[in-house]
Structure 1
Amino acid sequence: MTRDWYAWHADYADPDSALSRRLAEVQGRVRDALDQAPAGPVRVISLCAGQGHDLIPVLAAHPRRDEVTARLVEWDARNVEVARRAVREAGLTGVEVVAGDAARTDRYADLVPADLVLLCGIFGNVVDADIRATVRHAASLCATGGTVVWTRHRREPDLVPAICDWFAEEGFAPVAVSSPADGVGVGVHRLTGPPRPLAAGATMFTFVR
């Protein structure tokens, strides 16, 4: 059965839910990345962005909001409309929400390498080989010194240690990784070397049903 990704967002309304706890951690990491981004224009991309909760509220209140050009890509049309409404209400003129397949590299060709890449809600919904492929593509999406924020549950089999190894193999340094005791899985990595050229027309991952 295909998951209803609009209904999935209902847990955000419950402050005690794992999703709300994860959101608070992700938003804090996004805020840190914006604080630490180099002076000047800031580029942000968010894959499988849902309703934009990871980025939009943080950016709306951030002092660098007007320096940011961001693209959120989401498949579900209902979530796209919610995110677009939030962008309008926040007056974020540099943010666009695109309806489409977030796994396609061509969605980001004109906006990479980016200073902040959000890969939230992906790694728990694709096969391990697609996680590995997405990490490899992240080295093309992210600018030197740029930040990737990603999520993955810490239930067994816990793949987070392997994901950290994969990021290291692609030239990323760890910034923060939540522990199993935290109850949510949030990782932050920074690209230390030059980005690779972005592969045209590639599909980074496919959600499992």
Structure 2
Amino acid sequence: MDWNAWHGKYDVADSWMERRLRTVQSQTRAALDDAPAGPLKVISLCAGDGRDLLHVLSDHPRRHEVRARLVELDARNTAAASETARLAKLDQVEVVTGDASLIDQYRDMTPADLVLVCGVFGNITDSDIEGTIGACNQLCKTGGTVIWTRNRAAPDRVPMICQWFDEQGFELQWLSEPGAGYGVGVHRFTGTPRPLRTGTRLFEFVGYDVLRRRETAQSG
């Protein structure tokens, strides 16, 4: 999968990807609006070209209060994100070209006020989804927010994802409608952050296309 070219689908007007992006951006803006006064930390896993966060920060009243780290493996995407941040004069945004599954990438940014896990859950196995959610209480501060996405193709994993978040001390704040054509969820952490387990890997990024082929082969 060419993940740089894949981002071009966001530019197709009223496509499901464009609508999902607008939804994530809206929920990101709301999370920043509702966050306590003072400096804020934001981390984004598999951040792509960063448009879900950077396009919000560019004109947000709290833009200069936000310290953010975006981690993405594709160097073309990180180059685009870095240029977007530069043009918007977002001096506290750090774009890292690296493996977002390695928890050490976030070591000095946790616990964060906002954690973005967008474009991840549809590309990893169920066990890795559960494990990543299990680690969100290391990434997120008490009262902090996790915004995540997952396609709603059968078998629909969104209800299970909500259950896994609930089991880890997160309360559901908002969930897109089942018929929206995509899944976007917002959870708030009500527990106490756990120490970061450095040296651990959160998931293996398999890819949606590979997962689909596996499921088809198993069902056949």
> Could you say which residue in structure 2 is the equivalent of 1:192?
190
- Separation in 2 of the partners of 1:11 and 1:135? 27
CA drift of 1:179 comes to 2.0
- Separation in 1 of the partners of 2:173 and 2:111? 19
- Separation in 2 of the partners of 1:191 and 1:141? 10
> Could you say which residue in structure 1 is the equivalent of 2:213?
none
> Could you say which residue in structure 2 is the equivalent of 1:174?
172
> SS where residue 165 of structure 1 aligns?
helix
> Could you say which residue in structure 2 is the equivalent of 1:29?
27
185, 203, 206: which is aligned to 2:204? 206
124, 141, 162: which is aligned to 1:126? 124
Unmatched segments (≥5 aa) in structure 1: none
66, 69, 82: which is aligned to 1:68? 66
- In the TM superposition, structure 1's runs of 4+ consecutive aligned residues that sit over 2 Å from their partners are none
> Could you say which residue in structure 2 is the equivalent of 1:159?
157
> Could you say which residue in structure 2 is the equivalent of 1:58?
56
> SS where residue 124 of structure 1 aligns?
helix
State the one-letter code of the partner of 1:129: S
CA drift of 1:198 comes to 1.0
> Could you say which residue in structure 1 is the equivalent of 2:14?
16
Once the two structures are superposed, what CA deviation does each residue of 1:89-122 show, in whole Å capped at 9, x if it has no partner? 0000010100000000000010100000000000
- Separation in 1 of the partners of 2:145 and 2:2? 30
- Separation in 2 of the partners of 1:159 and 1:96? 32
Once the two structures are superposed, what CA deviation does each residue of 1:116-161 show, in whole Å capped at 9, x if it has no partner? 0000000000000000000001111000000000000111100000
86, 92, 114: which is aligned to 2:112? 114
- Separation in 2 of the partners of 1:180 and 1:67? 35
Alignment of 1:42-53 (within 5 A): 42-53=40-51
Once the two structures are superposed, what CA deviation does each residue of 1:61-115 show, in whole Å capped at 9, x if it has no partner? 1000000000000000000100000000000001010000000000001010000
> SS where residue 23 of structure 2 aligns?
helix
**Count of equivalent residues:** 207
- Separation in 1 of the partners of 2:91 and 2:9? 28
> SS where residue 45 of structure 1 aligns?
strand
Alignment of 1:68-147 (within 5 A): 68-147=66-145
174, 181, 184: which is aligned to 1:183? 181
RMSD, aligned CA: 0.6
- Separation in 2 of the partners of 1:185 and 1:154? 6
CA drift of 1:23 comes to 0.2
Normalising by the residue count of structure 2, what TM-score does the alignment of the two structures yield? 0.93
CA drift of 1:167 comes to 0.2
State the one-letter code of the partner of 1:79: N
Greater CA radius of gyration, 1 or 2?
2
Q: Which has the larger share of helix?
A: 2
Normalising by the residue count of structure 1, what TM-score does the alignment of the two structures yield? 0.98
State the one-letter code of the partner of 2:16: A
- Separation in 1 of the partners of 2:113 and 2:202? 19
Identity of aligned residues (%): 57
> SS where residue 188 of structure 1 aligns?
strand
CA drift of 1:18 comes to 1.2
